[in-house]
Structure 1
């Protein structure tokens, strides 16, 4: 039997009370959760989430005893942490002090792996119960199959590093053994997945309640040209004040480059009385250790570093942070703050963070460096909220299953890693059949992922496209395409995300998953702007209802395009598309919609967040009681309604605004040379009934007729011979019109655009007779009207001659 098996019975789960040492609540919860998890037949790594300073190392060290491990590999993020854990396993002080192990327990054989794998040290590898290594060394060890098979337990410290290549490879090579990942922040700046199942999570708010996470304070400095000097002076002032109060506090100066660290070292030496030393990754481990010893021996007031002494560094007296350059990653910032919020020392007080006040700085859409930032509440709420989001996302992804268990073409593909852009085409459907398949046009090459609980299906398609630099089709690149179809039961709405944004394909997808569908009118789409505040509309469109030539659609872009709209504009134009910035629950968002039943945002989201986004807006779209007010001049523009039937007084047809902006070339049959631009052709209305309108498109001696229903769907009367070039492809003209519908106008200025109708108002262009004032030109002003009479007579003679 191995060391940990022999000593399993000696481990105690003593709870720490006022009168005796023991394990904290977080440690007890984590170790019992691990014991429970590994009684089941699991093939996933266990993830333990505990705040910095809550005792992750103790839980990590107890795990081999609990699992009766034979041989353990511990992977740490840095040489410093490697050395700390090596010493912990050698001495077991932490577990003995917590009454988790007896004082006289025999210690394990621990090997600190300082170099890459070498046959010369084979004996040390074999004799060790625990090997502690950084990722590079650990990987060189487990790549040796004989050595890898000796381990039955792998423990990862600071597991948010695991998506990195070396960490991932270690877990892949040891996937058949028990794996436990420990971290305070189970999320990454690059949004990559930390693979495994979160089996225990101790919230930061409980760590604060239990006194594990201490008081923190943000001290803002007004921005100025001498910001570094002002931060240095304030850091010195705060440190001296704390020491006068009896606190044994020390300072860390944080920046982002080695060059800046050198400049700050000189600045603090010349302008303050503080004794500081600079450390960075270019220095030897021995040099860094000596610096840390000097700090702990109170020979220094602090250190200057670049992302050093972060993960795993335990010195609770480090309480003042002079932040000359802030972290741009929320995960890194939370890790950093956690180091200063430790409470496991005497004579320490509130942790203080000194930096420049920057109201405009957003970290993952969160404003943290404002003058009114109350960090104690903000940091706890953000940390717990971010962890909640991560766990929720993992649980949501786990609710999907692949329709067919066959191997994926995409190695190690996970739905967690997709980040769909927030864009959706929306239909109202009769029903939803999640068992259906995507149409052939999607190019789905492998079985889709299905979530029957949430009525969502995700497909990955392939499309062969020639490189832009190649004029022929001899070589094709493979483009992977994402499709998401989600049905909201409550509203009967179907949301489709497709990277091929053609109306024909959207309609085919909707038809594949439902027995009947209809598009959403703009009056309903407009409701996505409801429940929002502080609008800035920076891209919008207006349709001119009265112009039969010239401008038919006006697009405006700028910081706030609504300022160019007034009551008169609203009488002449109707609302087109809109894209704006607004506030929702105190957070800044973007949202846009168009007449094509589409909505979008500028952001990208996790899959569960995307579905929430669809559902939230779907409920607004379906709510007939919603009254939208943006409190901007955009409210002056009338909103079109859904087309119910075609009016008989339609007399004029025009191409869409998109067609005029970028007119495609028009082709006949399979001919290679175009016969002209689409806007060169003529449009003629042939017939109108309530449910459809027939039009003719002609150019030269070529003419074809098309029928459009009240959903804005076009079909050629016979097989379409006219095609246009669209996205490097030849598309039949009727399919083109489905994406870019013709616009129809009636004699009463009613306008039909696709499946929408905007009723005209003939009073808008009628002169008010009370505003007409008659002038007596002859008697009052003596005007010679015979000149007008002569012109009038000549006009008449000319017309008669021409006739």
Structure 2
């Protein structure tokens, strides 16, 4: 039998039926502890504010649990001495009358490192062993593992220190022991997890109500001219002590310093400028040295002490009532412990506590609230302390909802989700339903899933991927190393949004994750939310200050398709004129929300972010708040010039949109990559410059249409589908096509279009990108003047208007003769008909010290009679609009493109001039004018319909906004 089990019967709560002097919080903690271990073997966490009688409960615990041998773990030498003394004397139990025997357990204080199994075994001779983890933790190489049965009860004091590796290894060394963790604050300043189950929490508010804590008077000091902050605090501490002693209070001063050097400087300040007798206590001094100074204090030889650490651990002197805080704690936990040490009552000749400080920068929001000039501590202290404890318990309950998880490497065996701090950055998808958490996630890339934990009820999955990587500037594997990526997938079912937060932000990665988490019953991947949704992130924000704005060009030439504006007030350079040319691409700002400072960014790529990191529960709350805004928020007005930039609206139908052209997303031209095409299993890698998109106008319906992707000589039929989601499908089973980015990552072409939606221009000026539209039809338009169509007598010229090329009487042949045979023929006439053409004919001539370039597009009349065939008009106008890209090329690139076409594709020829002449001309550095024209015999000024007129007007307006001239050749 051990000391505690033999004498448990003498631990009496109600001798003779009378309640003893135990406080009710102490009774509650003891009973909760006893109840816990009747059902569970998990560590028990007892939370009691500093000064509320925790030592008494600690000393009662071994009796309660009938301990054979107890290990007490303390975080510091001073607290180790305090706990050793508490068990050696059992004074805290005897003072309450809880234990009346004149007996005490055999206590051993371990002072050196335990280096041998024999040293561990020698501890069996004691009832209580008190240690600091650094001397006995098996985490240290020289410390061997002890026998698992050496201790049957393990007590941790000030348990907010315990998640450190050395603590955990020591606790895990005794898996069969009953483990009890005592703390004043069940959370760590580094926000790591405190392992165990909360069995009893005594709120700070109750400590005030039960008179365990008394009044605390904050004294905010502003230094006078010529005073330092330290001098001002020291003088006020002297004044306060003299006033308190004049009222009969037996108080001491505790001055807190930031460092040992600061403490030495403060000792000089107090010695030279006050009458206070002060000495320094420092945790790295010996216990004997520090105790000697505390003895002098009790003997009245000192008025106070200066300490570098908080001194609340291991020092039980209720007469410390004046806190001279020369260095504010930035941790709420330590601040509350420190204040609690001064706030407690229960001693004669002790009055209210004083807390003297000066304002400080760099504190977190909770601490700033405490130190505000008008803060009422009697109200605020319990609010801050209890809210933080309640939050910690809520977080622990949240993490308990996760399944055991899976991991590939032993390194993750002890890994805790509590330690994760995801950056607030998400890509958001429309997903009313159809979410399922997969059993495993296997990516096509070299990312290997090494950790996965799921919370099915909350619809959350946390994954960690590992991959090998090396710098691009080395050929060998010498610097190859492992990298890790974090991904959190969360589905807010209530509002129908899927959030993916990933440190790997490539579109290929998002698409692969989507495929795993979308239910098999869903026919297509969900669409990223539109800009009109992410823009609602601004809802309810005030005092918006914009730092970064991206503006997408919606009309005009292709120069600067995306502009960035960066600065403290980046929106100031935006005006109403910009709103007619650009809309919102992204924005990043800071603002106020419900009285708190926030940062917010959002983009047209369905991404939202905030410059903060938090635990996973806080991250989920942030996503939930966004989901509410996305579903219920109004279109925000910021009061900044950002409001000049429009926001594209989502569309569910093409009804009312008269499509004219289709083009790649602007990012296609900006992001380096290649298109890979596989025909019958044979892959080809092609340049995006050789890829062109064309609408099949006759297939257009309200919710779909076909378009062609031409790559070299290949044509792939694609289907654009619009509804609750937007997607693009490859209709050709024999040909597969993918986009390969600069890092070699591959995305199937349909998936690529989903993340890089094609851009459509409509006849009335409206523009569609994927499933978002921006209405430009309200802008003034000029009608097309039908008299601008140059009438050609095709029959008189012997032209068969149904023959576009390939015969002597074709339109191409006629146009060639016209261009070459003119009285002043252009210097160079290049015939470029074929897939990927800039135009059927491109001419170059120097006129008036300027290079005039004419680009001609030809379309035949299928019916051999003059009359409008709508699809022909749309097609040729689409070609005309696309050829505007030629003007964006520098002269050297123009030459390179034509040279490549001439030398590598059949049927290309110089009708006039040659490559050498073209090169000389383009090297002349003369300014360039571009004129673009169309040749369509089916058009006649006298027979043109309103629809064709609108198409021509839109084409003319687009061309004239960027080029020098537009011409149309038709029939009379």
Cα separation, 1, equivalents of 2:757 and 2:110: 69
- How far is the alpha carbon of 1:597 from its aligned partner? 2.4
Cα separation, 2, equivalents of 1:323 and 1:727: 55
In structure 2, the CA distance between the partners of 1:700 and 1:220, relative to structure 1 (3 Å rule), is: farther
Cα separation, 2, equivalents of 1:16 and 1:294: 41
SS of residue matched to 2:449: coil
2:470 matched to which residue of 1?
466
1:391 matched to which residue of 2?
393
2:162 matched to which residue of 1?
162
Cα separation, 1, equivalents of 2:243 and 2:622: 49
Are 2:350 and 1:348 aligned?
yes
Q: Which runs of 5+ in 1 are unaligned?
A: 768-798
- How far is the alpha carbon of 1:727 from its aligned partner? 4.1
Residues 169-318 of structure 1 mapped to structure 2, 5 A cutoff: 169-222=169-222, 226-318=228-320
SS of residue matched to 2:280: strand
- How far is the alpha carbon of 1:162 from its aligned partner? 0.8
Cα separation, 1, equivalents of 2:51 and 2:186: 16
- How far is the alpha carbon of 1:703 from its aligned partner? 7.8
In structure 2, the CA distance between the partners of 1:393 and 1:277, relative to structure 1 (3 Å rule), is: same
In structure 2, the CA distance between the partners of 1:68 and 1:438, relative to structure 1 (3 Å rule), is: closer
**Cα pair 1:683 1:695 within 8 Å, conserved:** no
Cα separation, 1, equivalents of 2:593 and 2:438: 36
Task: Determine which of 39, 54, 63 is the counterpart of 1:56.
Answer: 54
Deviation by residue 1:708-736 (Cα, 9 ceiling, x = unmatched): 54455455565456744344645566654
Task: Determine which of 330, 333, 347 is the counterpart of 1:331.
Answer: 333
Cα separation, 2, equivalents of 1:218 and 1:558: 40
Deviation by residue 1:415-445 (Cα, 9 ceiling, x = unmatched): 2222222222222225334353455327563
Cα separation, 2, equivalents of 1:118 and 1:723: 61
In structure 2, the CA distance between the partners of 1:570 and 1:245, relative to structure 1 (3 Å rule), is: farther
Deviation by residue 1:231-255 (Cα, 9 ceiling, x = unmatched): 2222222222222222222212212
2:113 matched to which residue of 1?
116
In structure 2, the CA distance between the partners of 1:74 and 1:402, relative to structure 1 (3 Å rule), is: closer
1:69 matched to which residue of 2?
67
2:566 matched to which residue of 1?
557
2:604 matched to which residue of 1?
595
2:36 matched to which residue of 1?
37
Q: Return the index of the structure with the highest Cα Rg.
A: 2
Instruction: Out of 344-353 and 224-233, give the one that drifted further.
Output: 224-233
1:9 matched to which residue of 2?
9
Cα separation, 2, equivalents of 1:215 and 1:285: 31
**Cα pair 1:319 1:340 within 8 Å, conserved:** yes
2:103 matched to which residue of 1?
106
In structure 2, the CA distance between the partners of 1:393 and 1:15, relative to structure 1 (3 Å rule), is: farther
Instruction: Out of 636-645 and 498-507, give the one that drifted further.
Output: 498-507
- How far is the alpha carbon of 1:692 from its aligned partner? 4.6
In structure 2, the CA distance between the partners of 1:643 and 1:471, relative to structure 1 (3 Å rule), is: farther
Task: Determine which of 633, 636, 642 is the counterpart of 2:650.
Answer: 642
**Cα pair 2:219 2:354 within 8 Å, conserved:** yes
Deviation by residue 1:181-202 (Cα, 9 ceiling, x = unmatched): 1111121122222211111111
2:44 matched to which residue of 1?
46
**Cα pair 1:693 1:708 within 8 Å, conserved:** yes
Cα separation, 2, equivalents of 1:255 and 1:15: 47
**Cα pair 2:541 2:593 within 8 Å, conserved:** yes
**Cα pair 1:429 1:492 within 8 Å, conserved:** yes
**Cα pair 2:738 2:746 within 8 Å, conserved:** no
- How far is the alpha carbon of 1:158 from its aligned partner? 0.5
Cα separation, 1, equivalents of 2:418 and 2:150: 32
SS of residue matched to 1:402: coil
**Cα pair 2:508 2:745 within 8 Å, conserved:** no
Residues 498-577 of structure 1 mapped to structure 2, 5 A cutoff: 498-512=502-516, 513-514=518-519, 515-516=521-522, 517-577=526-586
**Cα pair 2:661 2:695 within 8 Å, conserved:** no
**Cα pair 1:279 1:305 within 8 Å, conserved:** yes
**Cα pair 2:20 2:98 within 8 Å, conserved:** no
In structure 2, the CA distance between the partners of 1:22 and 1:658, relative to structure 1 (3 Å rule), is: farther
- How far is the alpha carbon of 1:173 from its aligned partner? 0.5
2:755 matched to which residue of 1?
739
**Cα pair 1:15 1:22 within 8 Å, conserved:** no
In structure 2, the CA distance between the partners of 1:346 and 1:12, relative to structure 1 (3 Å rule), is: same
2:790 matched to which residue of 1?
none
Are 2:639 and 1:631 aligned?
yes
Cα separation, 1, equivalents of 2:751 and 2:367: 41
Cα separation, 2, equivalents of 1:766 and 1:252: 83
1:97 matched to which residue of 2?
95
Task: Determine which of 121, 126, 129 is the counterpart of 1:128.
Answer: 126
**Cα pair 1:750 1:757 within 8 Å, conserved:** yes
Cα separation, 2, equivalents of 1:764 and 1:202: 71
2:25 matched to which residue of 1?
26
**Cα pair 2:75 2:132 within 8 Å, conserved:** yes
In structure 2, the CA distance between the partners of 1:123 and 1:410, relative to structure 1 (3 Å rule), is: closer
In structure 2, the CA distance between the partners of 1:351 and 1:654, relative to structure 1 (3 Å rule), is: farther
Cα separation, 2, equivalents of 1:567 and 1:431: 41
Instruction: Out of 267-276 and 589-598, give the one that drifted further.
Output: 589-598
Cα separation, 1, equivalents of 2:824 and 2:409: 86
**Cα pair 2:527 2:754 within 8 Å, conserved:** no
1:376 matched to which residue of 2?
378
- How far is the alpha carbon of 1:179 from its aligned partner? 0.6
Task: Determine which of 401, 418, 425 is the counterpart of 2:403.
Answer: 401
Task: Determine which of 760, 766, 785 is the counterpart of 1:750.
Answer: 766
1:763 matched to which residue of 2?
779
2:485 matched to which residue of 1?
481
Residues 703-742 of structure 1 mapped to structure 2, 5 A cutoff: 708-710=720-722, 711=725, 713-714=727-728, 719-720=735-736, 723-727=739-743, 729=745, 735-742=751-758
Cα separation, 1, equivalents of 2:165 and 2:451: 28
Cα separation, 2, equivalents of 1:714 and 1:567: 35
**Cα pair 1:253 1:305 within 8 Å, conserved:** yes
Instruction: Out of 650-659 and 371-380, give the one that drifted further.
Output: 650-659
- How far is the alpha carbon of 1:468 from its aligned partner? 4.7
- How far is the alpha carbon of 1:538 from its aligned partner? 2.1
2:414 matched to which residue of 1?
412
**Cα pair 1:21 1:97 within 8 Å, conserved:** no
Cα separation, 1, equivalents of 2:132 and 2:220: 37
Deviation by residue 1:561-610 (Cα, 9 ceiling, x = unmatched): 33334444434432222222222333222222222222222212212222
Are 2:591 and 1:582 aligned?
yes
Deviation by residue 1:11-52 (Cα, 9 ceiling, x = unmatched): 1225999x975111211111111100110142x211111111
In structure 2, the CA distance between the partners of 1:106 and 1:118, relative to structure 1 (3 Å rule), is: farther
**Cα pair 2:257 2:326 within 8 Å, conserved:** yes
Are 2:449 and 1:445 aligned?
yes
Give me the TM-score of the superposition, normalised by structure 2.
0.72
SS of residue matched to 1:64: helix
1:604 matched to which residue of 2?
613
**Cα pair 1:358 1:370 within 8 Å, conserved:** no
Kindly indicate whether structure 1 or structure 2 has the higher relative contact order, using CA contacts under 8 Å at least 6 residues apart.
1
